Structure 1
Amino acid sequence: MPPRSATDAARSVPGPDAEHRPDPRRWRALSVTLVVGFMTLLDVSIVSVALPSLQTDLGATPATVQWVVSGYALTFGLVLVPAGRLGDAFGRRRLFLAGLAGFVLASAAAGAAPSIGWLVAARLVQGLAAGCLAPQNSALIQQLFRGAERGRAFGLFGATVGISTAVGPVAGGAILGLASGPDGWRWLFYVNVPIGVVAFVLALRLLPPGGGGRRGRVDGVGVLLLGAGALAVLFPLVQAEAGGLSRLWWLFGVGAALLAAFVAWERRVVARDGDPVFDPRLVTRTRGYGIGAALGTVYFVGFSGIWLVFALFFQTGLGYTPLQSGLAVTPFALGSATAAVVAGRLVERYGRRLTVLGLAGVMVGLTAAAVVLLLVPPSAAGWAIAPALLLGGIGGGFVISPNITMTLRDVPVAMAGSAGGGLQTAQRFGAAVGTAALPGLFYLVLSATDDYPAAAAAGLAVSVLGAGAALVLGLVDLGRSRAEEAAEQEAAEHEAAEHEAADDDAHGHAHAWHH
């Protein structure tokens, strides 16, 4: 018997879409999960503006303090796919509540950290908890919403992803500005505690029980292969500041071999009608998933790394405070927030065209920002760059939100957790590459030229290249979608013509019989 597709595999799951009864509390439940998602994703970038003061207060080396950012990103990315599968199997509400409790406790521990070692350990646990939460967000949208409502919900989710990453430096700078003093950085973590406690109480009341109905044995071998492979690829990247790329480059080959073994194992599990950690048919047979995940990966290379470049340029190069550095990139956050909300309402109508338009806007905006930094006096850079960042932000708002919707909209509900985890893992891989490559390039150009604007412009150039690669993928998907639409329209017209011919024949026979 031929292997079933991802969609076919989900048809035997109880509770198909046709029997779906809308939960009256679904929009309130969504608001709670989005607040939590915003908080966890904000922690990826909010700490970047505090690294100089944090390094001074704790007496840490630059390589060690970098683990405060990269350690969180590492554990976050490692647990996404297994956590999504566990949510599918044992209940998304249960995984969400457990992850939220762990995140709040780890945030409190990070805020109270007496040493850099304690802080890094707390951040590793915090990343694990955040990784448990993230795939439940997209999976709960699949579970709670259908049709046009699902598109709007994914639009809000995509807006949350884009805004939280972009606004992190602004929020971090504001908190450090209000909580001045040697321990001001601790409030970057303490602020999560009251928000998380309130969210936990609301989630306990509002989130629906149960998962997607696809219960079964968890694939332990798949979890180990995926975790080891992801760790081998990510570890040299998060160690880039300490020379990880030159010392640990051989781990990339090990990681590639382990991930290839993971794919082969998952195919074997599927062939035996088992429950894989990540079903390969999501990539090969679910429309839009594979290319959407690839687009998100290459886009996040530039999108995530550029905030560290801006923080280094404005704080180290121009002497800005963390708050001033955050405010300098506020136009991007404002543009992204506004456009993402609009894109969530338009994605069902315009689809991949929104992504293509947004990527073009990002490329133009970031190219203009690089030119401005090279041409204007450093004293005017913060103001002069604002229009270019606003344009780039508007473009970014039209990228992330529609891409998430387009990538996940045809995924079966029973596989929503692992699919969302897979998509976000791909984005985390891209973010890890970007946060390692862009600051590394910044320092490389700076050491060669002693020119901060040139170093920042080099980082922006890599972001433009990432957006360009994503644009190529978007155009390929757009062309394929148009070809599919044309084929479907031609088939519909052909079927209509056959029906019309059949009706004419029947009418002719009836007329002849009557006479």
Structure 2
Amino acid sequence: MNPDQNSEAPDARRWPALAVLLTGTLLPPLDFFIVNVALPSIRADLRASADVTQLVVSVYAMAYAVTLILGGRLGDTHGRRRAFVAGMLGFGLASAICGLADSAALLVAGRLLQGISAAVMAPQSLASIHALFPPAEKGRALGLYGLTFGLASVGGQLLGGWLVSADALGLGWRAVFLINLPIIALAVPAALLLVRETRAGQASAMDYRGAVLLAAGALALVVPLIEGRERGWPWWSLALFALSPALLTVFWRYQTHLERSGASPLVPPSVLTLASGLPRGLLAAVCFYALAAFFLVFAVYQQAGLHHDALAAGLAILPLGVGQLLGPSCGLRLSRWLGGRVAAFGMGLEALALLAAAGLAAAGRPSLLVVPLVLLGMGQGIALPALVRLNVDRVEARWAGLAAGAVTAAMQMGAALSVALVGGVFFALAPDGAGPQQVSTAFAVACVMIAIAMATAAFLSAPRSKEIASDAMK
């Protein structure tokens, strides 16, 4: 019997297993955000330029994004616990490479491997929740998932600031990567002991060619956005940028060809076309996670604009974490009144909070940012679990891993694009050596850009009249 369809006897160990699975939810976003406050130390120690600084963040996000769907499919076909453990071990190896890197190039290579390993590990958490928990408990489990995912962004900045400032054992910024190793040493045996193996069906040949095409198309889009601006838009950056749509078109046609011939494509086009609203929901996820750029520019604003040290910069983001703690419980209550509009409500709240933050920064009132940060965190805590469930529930249980990987991939694609686009504008307005006023203005502009993306996500995630009628019939 397909384990995903066996809902008669829920796994007795599902709640302890959830605690282990949430480790795989925590580590990937934690390692995306933990480097933000460490970037000035990394740049100084490795003598890296601003474009390399962006690559340390965006290469991880892009590798994560373009491999997530493949990672989800690996779990669906070969076993989610097996993929979870393999991804976690790879993540540990990559963290060691990053922590011991003696050059910017090796650090970027380690971040690339980290992103790929995280993409194998992360979707197994969401897909396993979908498989292990009965419908009555799934909302609570997804709320904890959203809380963990959200707190990783704040916890990453706070933990990163503390580790850099404490300089334990003289490790400095290297500790932000090496801290993963004891966590993984505990989580791997716990996963083997507590997490039940689930899969969607028999193992089938994986579409590695499709994965390469998707990765090439995505990288051809993001790398020029980062390197092109820094290097004066050389011909190769424009050529890569122009090549990206063609590569993505070839990828989609190849997926269509594989499905029609009875093979197993990386992304079955029929899943996207038959699942009502899924393409729009995935586009909303891309726009929604433009918030990732906020954590980068906020860290630079705190240190370069307000002259705070790494620890103070990490502490400054704490009000957002308070909001994220409150958000999921508020979201559960709001869902009784708003139904499928909860995600849009949370995103709208985030957009308003970002505009308020932009106004306060431009007016030179950083001490008042506490309120917008709390509201921003609440909006994130409300919207994230609602958006995830909105998309995953639109597919059959056997495609849970694919949907989980697609949703997280869409968010990470949004993270990579926002770091490239918003980060590019920010560093253009506030280059190295910029004064506090320039940095404050650049931060305000970045907040407005992210608010526009968030408002777009709210519009895309709001249910249409047909969907509301369908839900009412159910």
TM-score (norm 2): 0.92
Per-residue CA deviation, residues 266-293 of structure 1 (Å, 9 max, x unaligned), is 2222223332211222222123422221
The Cα of 1:200 is off from its aligned counterpart by 0.5
The Cα of 1:322 is off from its aligned counterpart by 1.1
Deviates more, 1:205-214 or 1:188-197: 205-214
User: Is 1:292 matched up with 2:262?
Assistant: no
- Alignment match, 2:468: 482
2:48 and 2:72 mapped to 1: Cα distance? 35
- Alignment match, 1:114: 102
Contact 1:45 1:165 in 2 (8 A): yes
- Alignment match, 1:466: 453
After superposition, where does 1:149-164 map in structure 2 within 5 Å?
149-164=137-152
- Alignment match, 1:339: 327
Q: Please state whether the residue corresponding to 1:427 is helix, strand or coil.
A: helix
- Alignment match, 1:32: 20
Gaps of 5+ in 2: none
Amino acid at match of 2:460: L
Amino acid at match of 2:71: A
After superposition, where does 1:121-270 map in structure 2 within 5 Å?
121-179=109-167, 183-239=171-227, 242-243=230-231, 247=235, 248-270=237-259
Equivalent pairs, count: 470
Q: Which has the larger radius of gyration?
A: 1
After superposition, where does 1:30-69 map in structure 2 within 5 Å?
30-69=18-57
Contact 1:73 1:428 in 2 (8 A): yes
1:239 and 1:27 mapped to 2: Cα distance? 45
Per-residue CA deviation, residues 346-405 of structure 1 (Å, 9 max, x unaligned), is 65774322112212211221111111112235xxx1x21111111121112111111001
- Alignment match, 1:70: 58
Q: Please state whether the residue corresponding to 1:239 is helix, strand or coil.
A: helix
2:239 and 2:232 mapped to 1: Cα distance? 10
Q: Please state whether the residue corresponding to 1:125 is helix, strand or coil.
A: helix
**Shift in CA distance, 19/131, structure 1 to aligned 2, threshold 3 Å:** closer
Gaps of 5+ in 1: 1-12, 490-515
The Cα of 1:100 is off from its aligned counterpart by 0.5
Per-residue CA deviation, residues 433-491 of structure 1 (Å, 9 max, x unaligned), is 1111222222333469962222111011001101111121133x2544323345x38xx
Contact 1:353 1:478 in 2 (8 A): no
Contact 1:282 1:290 in 2 (8 A): no
TM-score (norm 1): 0.85
- Alignment match, 2:85: 97
Q: Please state whether the residue corresponding to 2:351 is helix, strand or coil.
A: helix
The Cα of 1:155 is off from its aligned counterpart by 2.1
Amino acid at match of 2:38: A
- Alignment match, 2:404: 420
- Alignment match, 2:311: 323
Per-residue CA deviation, residues 97-152 of structure 1 (Å, 9 max, x unaligned), is 11101111221222222333332222221111111111111111122123122222
1:328 and 1:240 mapped to 2: Cα distance? 32
2:262 and 2:240 mapped to 1: Cα distance? 33
User: Is 1:365 matched up with 2:325?
Assistant: no
1:278 and 1:329 mapped to 2: Cα distance? 37
1:139 and 1:195 mapped to 2: Cα distance? 22
- Alignment match, 1:396: 380
1:150 and 1:258 mapped to 2: Cα distance? 38
Q: Please state whether the residue corresponding to 1:136 is helix, strand or coil.
A: helix
The Cα of 1:304 is off from its aligned counterpart by 0.7
Q: Please state whether the residue corresponding to 2:200 is helix, strand or coil.
A: coil
- Alignment match, 2:293: 305
2:334 and 2:128 mapped to 1: Cα distance? 22
User: Is 1:444 matched up with 2:449?
Assistant: no
Contact 2:425 2:446 in 1 (8 A): yes
Contact 1:66 1:241 in 2 (8 A): no
The Cα of 1:65 is off from its aligned counterpart by 3.7
**Shift in CA distance, 439/219, structure 1 to aligned 2, threshold 3 Å:** closer
Amino acid at match of 1:412: E
**Structure 1 runs, 4 residues or longer, greater than 6 Å off:** none
